[in-house]
Structure 1
C-alpha cells in the first residue's frame, strides 16, 4: 500500500536527528546533563498527551487530533536526544566485569582460527588468500597495495568493507542449509532462531562494524516478522533498525560506514523499485517446449537491468556523502559494479565450502582452482577499469 510505513520512517528520522543533536552536546558535561534531564521529561510529556487522548476517546478518533502526530514525532526527537546524552554521560562508568563476555571471547578465538585456515589454503596466487581474508573477515591488513588501489580507484572499495552484501550471501546460504528442517510453524521458528544466532556470531567475529550490524538488524527484524506472521515492509525494517542502532550506539551516527550503509539501503528501498519498472521486456512467445520455457524465464537483459538499476540507485543516494568525505567520484562505477559484485558474490560462495572442507582434507583441487580463478578475474577486471 502506498505510504505504508511512512510514520515509522518519520519517527526514525526524528529519533536519529535527536541523537545527532545529543552528540554535539556530549563534549560539554554540563550541557549533556541538562539536555538529558530536559529531554527525558519532554519525551515523557509528549508521549503522555496521545495516551491521555486515547483514554478519553475511541481508538479511531485519536488521529483526528491535529496535535497528536506532531507530539509523537517530537517525542521521538527528544528520546533520541536523551539516548545520546545518557550514552555520553555513562562513559567511564561501565566498570570491569572481570574480562570479556564469553561469547566475545569465543568469537575472537573463532576469528583467529578462521584467519589461520584462510591463510593455509594453497591458492595458486597468494593474493587470493589476502583477498578472501578481506571478503570473509574484513581484515585488509595483508592486502597488497596495488589491489587496494585498483579497488579504490575503480569504485569497488565497498566490496572490501564488510556490509549487507557479505552478510546477505551468508544469510542466503544459511537459509538454504536450514531449509531441510521443513516449513511447519515450529520449523520456521527454529530456522529463524538458528539463522539469527549464526548471523549474530558472525557479526561478532568480524568486529561488529556499523554496516554489518545494520545488516544483522535487518536480518533479525525480517526473521522476527516471519515468525510472528507480520508483513515484512522494507521501510519499516529500515526505520526500526535505524532506531535500534542509534539508541544502542548513538556515537555510530558519526561513522562514515554507518551513513553510507543506510544511504545505500535507502536508495535500494526508495528508488530501485521504481527503476526496475522502467525496463519493459517484450513478452516471450508461448511454447510447449520445456527447454524454451526455461530459457525464456532466465530473461538475461532484465537481470542485467536490475543489477544496473540497483547500482545506480545506491550511487545516487551515496554519491553526495562519498564526495563530501573522500572528494572523489568513480566515473566507471556502473561497469565496476556489474563486474565486481557478481564476481565477489561468486568468490564468497566458493570460499565458504573451501574454508569448511580444507581443514578436513576433503576439499577438491578443482574447487580451490575455481575460487582462485574467480578472484583473479575480479582483480584483473578492476585493474583494467582503474587504468581507464
Structure 2
C-alpha cells in the first residue's frame, strides 16, 4: 500500500489556509475597527461658506464645501451633511431631501493629508437672510461599530436682497415721485443744475450774472437754474399682515416696491430713508435706515430689507405713522436729516384698517399744512 504523503500534506495545508483566511480577515477588521474608532476624527475638518456676501432674488450664489483630512490615515468614504433653507434651491440631481429645510448629503473620499473643495451652485429663490450654522461628518459603520459622527460649527451666511420691479405700474409711480421732487416751479434753485441763459432783469442777484455770455452779447445775461424743493423722501413700509388669511407674497411685493422706488430716487440723486414696522431677523429691532443718495446707501437699504423677518409679529402700522407725525410736529429731526428739512413721505401698505386710515389722513393733513408731501 502506497500513501502519497505530499498530497496529504497539501490537503492539510489547504484546510489550515481555509481556517486562517477568515481569522486573518476578522483580525484585520478588529484592528481597523480599533484604529478608525480612535483616530478617524483627528485632523478632520469641514468648512462651508458662500463666495458671495449678498445676491438678489433669482440670482445664483456659490456654496463652497471644503473637507480636510490632516492625518496619515486615509478615509475612503465619509458623509458630509447639513441643513439649508429650501428657498435656496440646489441641483435636483444631488442627494437631498426637502421639507422646511433641505437635508443635503455629500460623500467624500480622502487620502492622508488631503483637502477636497467643491463648489455648488445655489439659486436664491426668495428674499431673506440664510445661515448654515452646523454640519456633520459621518464615518460609515463598515469601519467601526456603528456610525461615528462628528459635529462642526459653521457660519455660512447669505443675504438675498429683494429684486427690482420693472412693470409699468411701478415705473409710473417712480416717475410721479421723482417728478414731484424735481420740478421747475418750487421754491429753491439748485445752483448745480443749469437750464439756460436769459437777459438780466431788476432783482436778479449779481452772482447769477454770466459774465462770458454778457461780454458776447453786450447786455447783462444771467444763468437760469433748475428748481428743486430740497426734499428727501422717507418711505414708510407696512409689513403688518392685512388679515388673518393673507398671501405672504403681498408683503414681499411691498418690500420689492420699497426697494425699487428707493433705487429710482437714488438714480435721480434724491436722498431717501426707510422706516418699517418689520423686524430684523438678527437684532429683532424694527428696520430703519438713515438718509442717503449713494449706491452704497442703496446697498444698505437692500441689506436691511433682506433681513426683514415676516414671521416676527410687527406692531400696528398706525403706531409707526403716528410716531413719524409726532416727530415732525415737534420739529425734531428724522434720522439722517436736519431738523426742519423738507421731507416727502411715501406710505407703502396693503392694510385698510380704520386706525391706519385715520393716522394716514392725519399725517396727510399735517404735511399739507406744512407745504410738504
TM range (shorter): under 0.3
**TM-score for the superposition, normalised by structure 1:** 0.27
Higher strand proportion (structure 1 or 2): 2
Pick the structure with greater CA Rg: 2
Higher helix share: 1
TM-score (norm 2): 0.28
